[in-house]
Amino acid sequence: MENFGLTKENWELFLKWLWDFIPGLISAIIIFIIGIWVIKIISRLLRKFFQKKDYDETLEQFLYDLINIGLKVLLIILVITQLGVQTSSLVAILGAAGLAVGLALQGSLANFAGGVLILFFKPFKIGDFIEAQGISGTVKEISIFTTKVTTFGNQLAIIPNGKLSNDNIINYSVEGKRRDKIDIGISYSSDIYKAKKILSDLINNQESVLNDPPPEILVAELGESAVTLSIRYWANNEDFWSIHFYTIEEAKKRLESNDISIPFPQREVHIYTKS
């Protein structure tokens, strides 16, 4: 007798296989249900743990997602193994699939690895003003694959984490204060000491300029057409740019009002005629 195209012997083998398979299927379903329940409990405990610890919000979300996904992958492997799939065969399949995916997503994996490094080593955080990959701006968001930076002109720059983690990064915010250096040229005929006194009064009379260490006015260079005076001072990050622009503008006004000329590049041409 044949049922659904199967011979009696094949039908008996199918029923025997089904009878042997049902206990494993029931066990797999039970393991899956219990596993999902356990993962939910662990997830709640992780949330409570992160609330007690003052970790970076981006790092907390990354760790939460990574642990959650890892537990679910482990549960799926346990369920498949319970169904009778050999662990060695499963590992071989996962290895081959992982290799194929890895080759196809090399750039994304590099960005993922870069995001992990940034989240753990924290070269910068949200709100810091940084310079990297030819872009300067305030960090708006740090994700697993990219970092978003708002530039001075209010453009949104998206930088891949792979490149960001493997290149130089200047963080202007981490120290809380910055040192500025403003170079101003005066003519060789001008009084250096008078010019230094004018610039010294200018910088020292600004309350936002830090006095520890004190500001300096130095002769930085004897150029082709000017003596370069360098104004060096420290300021808190929030005051840095306002002091910088004010000092440049005011220095020009005060020097010129005291007959200290600020030269520009020029060339003298002497013409000789034969008599």
Residue 154 banded pLDDT, cuts 50, 70, 90: very high
Q: Within 13 Å, how many C-alpha atoms sit on residue 217's CB side? A: 19
Q: For residue range 241-264, list pLDDT tens digits in order.
A: 999 999 999 999 999 999 998 887
| Entry field: residues in the chain | 275
pLDDT tens, residue by residue, 209-227? 999 889 999 999 998 889 9
Which residue has tokens 């009084």?
191
pLDDT in the model for residue 27: 81
Q: Is the pLDDT of residue 84 over 80?
A: no
* H runs (alpha helix) in the chain: 8-52, 57-82, 87-104, 106-121, 161-165, 192-204, 240-257
Distance of alpha carbon 77 from alpha carbon 198, whole angstroms: 76
Per-residue pLDDT at 55: 64
Rounded to an integer, the average pLDDT of 87-95 is 63
pLDDT of residue 202: 95
Burial (CB count within 10 angstroms: exposed 0-12, middle 13-18, buried 19+), residue 18: exposed
What's the pLDDT band for 184 if we cut at 50, 70, 90?
Answer: very high
Question: What crossing angle do the helices spanning 8-52 and 57-82 adopt, rounded to 10°?
Answer: 160
Task: Tell me the percentage of the chain whose pLDDT exceeds 90.
Answer: 38
* Alpha-carbon 161 to chain mean position: 7
Enumerate the CATH 3.30.70.100 domain ranges in the chain, comma separated.
Answer: 177-257
Residue 243: what pLDDT? Answer: 95
pLDDT at 157: 94
Is there a cis peptide before residue 213, judged by omega within 30 degrees of 0?
yes
Rg (CA), the chain: 35
| pLDDT higher than 50, residue 105 | no
**Rounded to an integer, what distance in angstroms lies between the CA atom of residue 74 and that of residue 159?**
33
What is the third-level CATH fold of 177-257? Alpha-Beta Plaits (3.30.70)
Q: Are 260 and 193 in contact (CB under 8 A)?
A: no
- For residue 2, is pLDDT > 90? no
Predicted pLDDT of residue 170:
93
pTM above 0.85, yes or no: no
Reply yes or no: is the peptide bond before residue 123 cis, omega within 30 of 0: no
Q: What is the pLDDT of residue 28?
A: 80
Average pLDDT over residues 137-152: 88
Single-letter amino acid, residue 199: L
Q: DSSP secondary structure string, 141-152?
A: EE-SSEEEEEET
The domain 121-171: what is its CATH number? Answer: 2.30.30.60
Instruction: Please give the CATH number for the structural domain made up of 8-104.
Output: 1.10.287.1260
Q: Residue 86: its pLDDT value, please?
A: 62
Using an 8 Å Cβ cutoff, are 252 and 192 in contact?
A: no
- Strands 129-132 and 135-142 come out as antiparallel
For the stretch 30-78, pLDDT in tens is 888 888 898 888 888 888 887 776 666 666 767 777 788 888 888 887 8
